[in-house]
């Protein structure tokens, strides 16, 4: 089924080229279907890149999806034109009276700051509090996942001796986990972070479980026991070239950056990387939407009655 997004969003052309079907408001009204409402809080600097990555995954499903894009009003983005945000995004004040089947909070390049040093942290706290009652299921990515674990469970991250940067193979610990339906025993995922979460701090929380982990680098996917909150420390949404672009950016800036591990054939950065995580990315997001569809309320207002 098509994905309903704001009419005129520039990335629609690329989605169409990739055969991801989109539709506008007028077309959606002709279909007698209650779409899944998904809200994306996009904290990444290059918002159009992240839009494309996530909408590509959300649009590859038989369900009709309606997406709202949101940005933090308390921080002025420097890598995305304000005209783009004004036309295609909403602020928290504009959506706070709505309810959503799913909320996605992306990563952000702020992990080397203390949480209270992040410009928009107070607004993010407000959004997280609001989401407790107004979003049926939540999916947090990378820094977004680390902060959510800290905010809801008091779990601190820790700094890695060197950046975890590359493609790594993780073990699936729970074969019957609906989120990982169709996964093999192991899967590959891009990682690009300076911080992590220890296994012991997750295991100390009775409401959390580690779904996948690496023998050296710890967890990648953490869920609540009811599967309604999902914390992804990696970046399954990344494109083939994303790590390459990050590497080239840091190298050109004169930063001390190692080659991303297990990424370039023969560790030769002139060669095209293998896209080894693509099918798992589609599977995970498809499984998430399917689980939300099966368990959410037909009348979204009923979410407000839940005791969370």
Catalytic residue numbers?
Answer: 142, 235, 237
Task: Give the C-alpha separation, 228 to 136, whole Å.
Answer: 7
Task: Give the C-alpha separation, 73 to 232, whole Å.
Answer: 25
Task: Give the C-alpha separation, 178 to 291, whole Å.
Answer: 7
- Report yes or no: 163 and 127 within 8 Å, Cβ to Cβ: no
The response to whether 29 counts as a known ligand-binding position is no
Separation in Å, CA 125 to CA 37, 132, 151: 22, 11, 8
The response to whether 249 counts as a known ligand-binding position is yes
Q: Is 293 helix (H, G, I), strand (E, B) or coil?
A: helix
The response to whether 46 counts as a known ligand-binding position is no
Separation in Å, CA 94 to CA 8, 10, 70, 124, 152: 20, 22, 9, 15, 24
Question: End-to-end distance of the chain based on CA atoms, in angstroms?
Answer: 31
Closest CA to 247 of 262, 260, 235: 260
């Amino acid at each position: 089924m098509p994905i309903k997004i704001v009419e005129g969003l520039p990335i629609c052309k690329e989605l169409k080229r990739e055969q991801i079907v989109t539709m506008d408001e007028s077309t959606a009204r002709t279909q007698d279907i209650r779409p899944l409402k998904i809200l994306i809080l996009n904290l990444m600097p290059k918002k159009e890149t992240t839009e494309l990555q996530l909408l590509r995954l959300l649009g590859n499903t038989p369900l009709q999806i309606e997406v709202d894009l949101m940005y933090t009003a308390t921080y002025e983005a420097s890598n995305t034109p304000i005209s783009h945000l004004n036309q295609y995004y909403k602020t928290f004040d504009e959506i706070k009276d709505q309810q959503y089947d799913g909320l996605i909070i992306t990563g952000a390049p702020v992990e080397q700051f203390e949480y209270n040093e992040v410009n928009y942290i107070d607004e993010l706290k407000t959004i997280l509090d609001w989401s407790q009652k107004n979003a049926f299921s939540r999916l947090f990515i990378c820094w977004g996942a680390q902060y959510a674990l800290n905010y809801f469970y008091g779990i601190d991250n820790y700094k890695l001796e060197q950046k975890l940067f590359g493609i790594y193979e993780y073990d699936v610990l729970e074969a019957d986990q609906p989120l990982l339906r169709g996964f093999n025993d192991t899967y590959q995922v891009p990682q690009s972070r300076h911080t992590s979460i220890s296994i012991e701090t997750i295991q100390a929380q009775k409401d959390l479980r580690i779904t996948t982990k690496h023998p050296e680098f710890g967890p990648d996917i953490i869920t609540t026991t009811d599967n309604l909150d999902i914390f992804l420390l990696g970046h399954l949404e990344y494109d083939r070239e994303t790590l390459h672009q990050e590497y080239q950016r840091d190298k050109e800036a004169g930063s001390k950056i190692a080659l991303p591990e297990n990424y370039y054939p023969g560790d030769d950065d002139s060669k095209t990387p293998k896209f080894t995580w693509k099918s798992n990315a589609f599977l995970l997001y498809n499984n998430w939407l399917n689980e939300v569809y099966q368990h959410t309320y037909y009348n979204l207002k009923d979410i407000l009655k839940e005791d969370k």
